[in-house]
Structure 1
Amino acid sequence: MRVPHEVEGLLRELAPQVLAALLRRYGTFDTCEDAVQEALLAAAVQWPEQGVPDSPRSWLVTVASRRLVDQVRSEAARRRREDALALATPQSALLSHAADTAPAADLDDSLALLFLCCRPSLSAPSRIALTLRAVGGLTTAQIAAAFLVPEATMAQRISRAKQAVRAEGARLALPEGAEAAERLADVRHVLYLIFNEGYTASGGADLTVPELSAEAIRLTRLLHRLVPRDAETAGLLALMLLTDARRPARTSADGGLVPLAEQDRGRWDGRLLAEGLDLIGRTLPRGEAGPYQVQAAIAAVHAEAGRTEDTDWPQVLVLYELLERFGPNPVVTLNRAVAVAMVHGPDAGLDLVEALRADRRTARHHRVLATRAHLLELRGDREAAAQAYREAAARTAGAPERRHLAARARSLEAPA
C-alpha cells in the first residue's frame, strides 16, 4: 500500500497531537500508543480513497479512542480498568470533538511527548525508536528498515521502551527548573542521533536514509518553534539544515560516496543553505555558544566557500578548538586533525591522528584509519596511504564508504 505523500506528511504531523490527547484522557502510554498506531493505519487506508476528513485530528482521536476502548474490553484481566475507563469517559464522549485542544496546547503536548520518549532511564536506541514511533508517526517496519534490523527486533525494542515508561508511571508533563534544561539536552541529543543515522547510515547498501534525516529536521523545527529562545536548539536546527543541504552532491550517479572536497557545490540545496545561515547568524550573537551552535558555525564556514580551496581553514580550526572545550570527543579531534593539516601541514595533522591510534578505543576505527590515509595522501606517501585506505575499507560497515575507500586505495596503487 502506497500512501500519498501529502497524507503521510499530515499523519506524521498529527500523530503526536493525537497521542497526547489520548494520554491526557486515559493516561496509559502503551495502550494509547497502540491505539494511535491503529488509527493512523486506518487513516492511511481510508483517506486516499475517501478523502481527508474536515477535521483530520478529531477523526484520528475518535478512531483511536474507539480502538482503545475495544482493547480494554477484549482483555478480561483488565476488567477493572475497563470499568474505570467507562466511568471516566461516557461513550458519547468518544464521538465528540471536545477532546480537540487549542493549537497552542497541541504544541505544548508535542514537546511534552518528546520529553516523555527521551527519558534518561531509557537507552539511546530505545529513546530513538520510541521517539520515531510515538512522535514521528513512523511504523515499526519503517524504523526497522531505517536501522537495518528485523522488524521483530525493533518491535521488541519499542515494546520494552513503552513498558519501561509505563512502569515508571511517567506522566505527560513538561519538566520544570533544572530538570527542564537537562531533559531538553536529552531531547536534542536524540534528534541529533536520528539525523546523523539518516545522513550517514551506519550500515547497509545506501549511504543515507533520507526519511530519517527529514524526520529529525521536522521534529527539530517543532522543538525550535516551542523553545524559540533556546540557542542550542536553534544551533541544532541550523546544523541539520546546513549539513542536509549537501545531500544532493554527496553521492555519485551509482550511489557512491563523494567527499566534501570533491562535491559539486552547485548541487547543494540553496534554500536550506540560506535558511541555515540566517538561523545561525541570528543565534550566535545572542549569548554563550554551545556545541551545536559551534558545529553549525563550522558548517556555515564550509557553506560560504564557493570552492573547496576558498575554505577559511584557520577559522575552521579555531572553531574545532572551541568545540573540544565542551568535552573530549575523538570525532571532534579527528576533524580538528584535518583542519590542522590544512593550516599547518599534513604532518601536524598526522600527529593528532597517531594519538587517537594509540587509544585502544579508537585505534582500529575506520574513520581514524580513513583520516590517516587522507593525510598520508596529502603528504605524498602513496604506498602508506593506499594501505591505510585498504585497512579502513575492511573495517567499514557501510557499502558506499567501503567502495569509496577501496577505490581510493586502487587509485594510489596505480602508476602516478
Structure 2
Amino acid sequence: MKNFKENLNPSKILVLGFAILILIGAFLLTLPIATEDGKGLTFLDALFTATSATCVTGLVVVDTGDTFSMFGELVILSLIQIGGLGFMTFATFLFTLIGKKITLKERIILKEAFNATSTNDIAKLVKKILIFTVIAESIGGIILSIRFSFDMPIGQAIYFGFFHSISNFNNAGFDLMGEFRSLTDYVDDPFVVLTVCFLIILGGLGFIVINEINDFRETHKISLHTKVVLSTTITLIVGASILIFLFEYGNDKTLGPLSSTGKALGALFHSVTPRTAGANTLPMADLTHATLFLTIFLMFIGGGSGSTAGGIKVTTFAVLMATAISQLKGKEDVVLFKRRIVLESILKALTVAMSGIMIVIIVTFILSITEQGHDFILYLFEATSAFGTVGLSMGLTPELSPIGRIIIILTMFVGRLGPLTLGFAISKRRKKEAFRYPKGNIMIG
C-alpha cells in the first residue's frame, strides 16, 4: 500500500479522483429515488450521465428534465460543480476549514489541475476561485431566476435559474427544459442569451486568467498567457458570430424567421457555446453544413487552460498558428506579443493537437462502424463534441448502441483530463537518455 501511494504522481491522482467521482455518481443515479419513474437508470446509462456531468460535457442519453427527480438532478449538479472546479479544489477548501496545512504534493496536484506555472500561493488561488465561482453563479442564477419567473412558478424559476447558471458557468450544458430542446425557446431573448454567454465565457477563460484580471489594479501586469487567451477568445467569438450570421441568415429553420436582433443573438450564442458549453438556442439538426463544420472546428479548440472548458485549448491553437505564420514568413523564432515562444511550448502544443486529432479520428471511425445508418458528419460531430467536452449533439447520442456509449464515455473522460495528463498518468517517469542518435534530415512538404 505504501509503495502504491508513493507511485501515485499528481497526474495519476487526478485521473483516479475523477474516476472514483464518476463511479459514485453513477451508483447514485441507479437508485430508484434518482428518476421520476422510481426505477433508476441502468448502470450504463447512469455511468454515461455521471461521466458527462463530471467531465462537464452535457451529452445525454436521456433528457435530464424529463427523466430525473430532484434528487437525481441535484446529483448531476453536484457532479458538474465538483467536476468543473476539480475535486482537489474542494478538498483544499475543506482542509483549510479544518485548519489542515496543504502539503507540497497537494500543491503540485493543484498546479497540475489548474495548469498553473508555479505552486506559490496556490492555496490562496483556490480560495479566490471558490469566491469568484460563488459570485458569478449567484449573479447568473438571480438574473435567470427573474427571467424564468415570467414563464413558471417562482420556486421553479429560482431552481431552474441557479441550475442553469451553475451548469453553464462550468461549461456543462445540462438543462431542465425537457424534450432535448435546451434553450431553443429563448433564442432571441437578450436576458437569457447574454447571461448564459457571459457565464460560459467566464468559465472558459481559465482561473489563472480571471485571477490576473482581478489583480490588475494592484499589479498592473498581464502575463503573455492571459494576453493570448483573451485575444484568441475574442477573435474566435467575433469571427464565428459573423460567419454564423452569414451562413444561417436565410435558413428558415434557424435564424431566418428572427428579427435582426434575434439573428445577432442567435449567432452570438452559437459562436460561444462550442467553447465546450453544450447549451444551444438553434436546432442543431437544422444548421447548414458550413455552420456545422465551423462548430466542429470551434469545439475542437475549446476554451482556456485551467478552466472548466475542454478541447485542445485556445493557447494551443494560438501557438500553432503563430508557428505556422513564422515558418511561412521564413522567421526563425515564434513570437507572440513581442515574446519568443520556447521550443518546449511549441512541441507540447503540437503533441496536444495531434493527440486530439488522432482521438477524434479513431472515435469517428469506430462510431461509423458501431452506429451505422447515419451521415458521416454526425459521427465526426459526436466524436469532437465528446473529446472537447462540449455536449452539443445532432441527435445521435440517445440512439447510441452500448458499445457506442462506452466509446463516448472514454472519449469524454480523456477529453476532460487531457491527452497529456492521461499519458503522463499511465507512463513511467521520463528518463534522461544515456546517448543521442546523430541528426537526420527529412524532406517536408
Higher RCO, 1 vs 2 (CA within 8 Å, ≥6 residues apart): 2
Point out the structure with the larger helix share.
Answer: 1
Q: TM-score range by the shorter chain?
A: under 0.3
TM-score (norm 1): 0.27
Normalised to the residue count of structure 2, the TM-score between the two structures is 0.26
Whose Rg is larger?
A: 1
